[in-house]
Amino acid sequence: MAKRCSSLATICVAMSCAALLCCLARGEAQVQQQKASVRIFNTAKQKLREGKTIVGATVFSPDPNIYCAMANAGYDFLWIEMQHSPLTYGDVAKMIWACRGASAMPFIRVPDATEGDIQKATDIGAVGIIVPTVDTVEKAQAAVKWSKYPPEGRRSQGNGQYGALWGSDYRQIANDNMVVVIMIETPIGVENAEKIASVPGIDVIFAASTDLGNFSGHRQGEKDYEALVTRIHDVTLEHGIRLGGPQAWKGRPGFTFFQGPGETELIRAGARANLSANPEAKPTAAPVEGEKPR
C-alpha cells in the first residue's frame, strides 16, 4: 500500500511539474505577444532592432528653424547636444515642439545620468537618452533607471509635452520606445566595459572617438588607441548591444549607430555643394517667396 501511494505521489508531482511548465510557457507566449503588439513610434529604435544602420546629425543651436531643417533632411535622429552647449531644456522643448512630426527622432545627450537631467529630457519629448563618460556600472544603471518607468526603472510620471507629441498611450509604450545610449570615453570605462554591457536596458554603447584619445593620450590609428576601440567593439557585440561611433567610422565593422556633424559643418558642406554645382543643373528661374524649396 505504501509503495502504491509513493508511486501515485510521484505521478502527481510529475503532472504538477508538467502543468507548471505548460503554464509558464503559456505566460511567456502571452508576454511575447503583448510585446509584439506594442506600438513602436520611435523609428530609430525600430531600425536598431532590425539591425539597420542609423545616423543622427548634431544640434547645438537653439533656432527651431535650423532644428526643423535638420530634422526633415533625412536623418534617423538628431543628437541634441546639452553636455557641451548652452542649450536649456526650455530651448529644446520649443525646438522639438516646433518640429513635431519630423522624421528624425529627438535624442538628447544629457550632461549626466541624474534624475533631474533625464527626467526633464524625457518630459519634453526625447525618445533617446545619451549619457556621456560612463566609467562605472552604477552610472550605466542610473541611465536606464531614470529613462524608464516602473517596473523597468524609476522614472516618475508628471507633466510634459510627451503625450501631445507621441500619443495618449505614451505611458504604456514609453519604455519600449526609449533608446538608452551609453558612452564609453575613458580607459576606466573600457576596463569596466564587461560590467557596463551587462546592465539590462542598454540599447547602444558608443565608443567616443575624441575623448578616448583625450583621456588615454593616444591618437587614432595607434596600437594602444585601437586596442581600446576593439575592446568596446567586442564586448558590446558579444552582449547583443548596438555599437555606436562617429560617422567617420561608418566603414568599421560592427558599427550601426552614428553621430553625424553639427549644423555649422552641414551649412559649410551645403554651401560648397551649392557653389560647386553644375551650372547646367541650376534652376533657370529664382524661387518664389513663400514657396517651399524643391
State the catalytic residues. Answer: 84
The burial class, CB within 10 Å (0-12 / 13-18 / 19+), for 211 is middle
The burial class, CB within 10 Å (0-12 / 13-18 / 19+), for 286 is exposed
Q: 77: which 3 cell numbers?
A: 535622429
List the alpha helices (DSSP H) in the chain: 2-36, 43-49, 64-71, 89-98, 115-123, 137-147, 162-166, 170-177, 187-191, 193-197, 209-216, 223-238, 263-275
User: Would you say 110 and 121 are in contact if contact means Cβ atoms under 8 Å apart?
Assistant: yes
Beta bridge partners of 262: 58
DSSP code, position 156:
P
Q: In 3D, which of 79, 71, 120 has the Cα closest to residue 98?
A: 71
User: Would you say 4 and 36 are in contact if contact means Cβ atoms under 8 Å apart?
Assistant: no
Q: Which residues lie below 8 Å from residue 4, measured CB to CB, with a gap of 6+?
A: none
Exposure on the CB side of residue 14, measured as CA atoms within 13 A? 6
Which letter, b or e, does each residue of 73-100 get, where b requires 16 or more Cβ atoms within 10 Å of its Cβ? eebbbbbbbbbebebebebbbbbbeebe
Residue with cell 533607471: 145
Characterise 139 by phi-psi region: left (phi > 0), alpha (psi -120 to 50), beta (else). alpha
State whether residue 204 is helix, strand or coil.
strand
